[in-house]
Copies of this chain bind each other. A is one copy, B any other.
Amino acid sequence: MHNYSPGRRFRAGILGHSGFSGAELAALLGKHPAVTPVLLDHRKAEGTASESRPHAGSESASNPLERFAWSPTVVTEQKLDVVFTATPPEVSMEVVPEIRAQEARAIDLSGAFRLPAEQYARWYGAEHRHPELLPQAVYGLPELYRERIRATCIVANPGCYPTAAICALWPLLEQDWVDRAAGIVCDAKSGVTGAGKAPSPQTHFVQVSENFSAYAIRKHRHVPEVLNSLRLQDDEFDFTAHLLPIQRGILATHYVRLRRAAELKEVLDLYRSAYRDSPFMRLYPAGSFPQVSAVQRTNFCDIHCTLGGDGKRLIVVSCIDNLVKGAAGQAIQNMNLMLGLEETAGLL
């Protein structure tokens, strides 16, 4: 079933490389041992964001990637095995069918293929234009759906908040440890790259620095992804997003009631067992304290558990880098699975 022969190099296109996620993808793929990335310029996708932080502002910029204008035929011409679309959902919806028509795999980092058509319409405010592709799209969270990702040609790469929330809660829910009636809380905090590169009053330095705010309380469009993956009802899940004055990183604090009293060791064993084949999940030891600096610029998702005195109240903290495990790194992890490469290739 492996289609990887040693020495073979794959070619990957990146559409939407001027935003934070796309630029991170280009940087990470540039170091991948088995994949050569090329940049694809899409008129609509690149027009919106300017180069705010030119990391290669110098004459002798080292080793830039090849770059081509996007057209549906560029996939075949450039022999691309896979194309990443780090584009707004309305652009992704348009180009993913074109990528598939050229028989390349597609990994979409927008919300275009994450939800059933009717949910999409409700949360993204527009009809889905290719609902016929939705059944083929697999939600790209390898820790839950590894085998299905290996077999698919369209991956809907998860949102950053859902990655943090689902990884924190899934082992508990999958084993039915949670008292759902008491409600599950996800209090999530994200760095500013999560808000995108377009300048706005909300991302102005003077607004963000020395400040901290809550936003989109209960109304974030990432919520339905979490409900779908965890099979939760809307009234079982409370979600609040907060904006941190940092560049990258998400820390999410979850509060659940267990159905029966447990020991911390049992809880940790549950997580260890659930993630025994997941190389990017790490469990904090008791006594440590979780922090985003431990995962910044990595594809790791760190988990920290604290159990209350009665053994029924559990706090689970998860940390990821929103641009890596929450976007570009996870997209590469999915690509590795789809191409039959080592899951961790280019990510350690």
Interface, chain A (partner B; CB < 8 A): 20, 50-62, 181-183, 185, 187, 189, 192-193, 197, 199-215, 217-218, 234-235, 238, 240, 242, 244-247, 249, 251, 253, 255, 257, 282-285, 288-294, 296, 300, 302, 304, 306, 308-310, 312-313, 315, 317, 348
Residue among A57, A60, A251, A285 with the most chain B CB within 10 A?
Answer: A57
Query: Could you tell me the distance in whole angstroms from the C-beta of A211 to the nearest C-beta in chain B?
Result: 4
Q: With contacts A197-B204, A293-B53 known, is A240 near B315, CB below 8 A? A: yes
Rounded to whole angstroms, the CA-CA distance of A315 and B237 in the bound complex is: 12
Query: Could you tell me the distance in whole angstroms from the C-beta of A299 to the nearest C-beta in chain B?
Result: 11
Q: With contacts A56-B294, A315-B240 known, is A192 near B213, CB below 8 A? A: no
The contact of A218 among B20, B257, B296, B306, by CB within 8 Å, is B306
The contact of A52 among B207, B212, B308, by CB within 8 Å, is B207
Q: Is there an interface contact between A210 and B52, defined as CB atoms closer than 8 Å?
A: no
Residue among A62, A204, A317 with the most chain B CB within 10 A?
Answer: A204
The contact of A214 among B55, B289, B308, by CB within 8 Å, is B289
Rounded to whole angstroms, the CA-CA distance of A115 and B274 in the bound complex is: 43
Q: With contacts A245-B205, A245-B246, A247-B209 known, is A57 near B290, CB below 8 A? A: yes
Query: Could you tell me the distance in whole angstroms from the C-beta of A226 to the nearest C-beta in chain B?
Result: 15
Residue among A56, A242, A247, A315 with the most chain B CB within 10 A?
Answer: A242
Q: Is there an interface contact between A211 and B293, defined as CB atoms closer than 8 Å?
A: yes
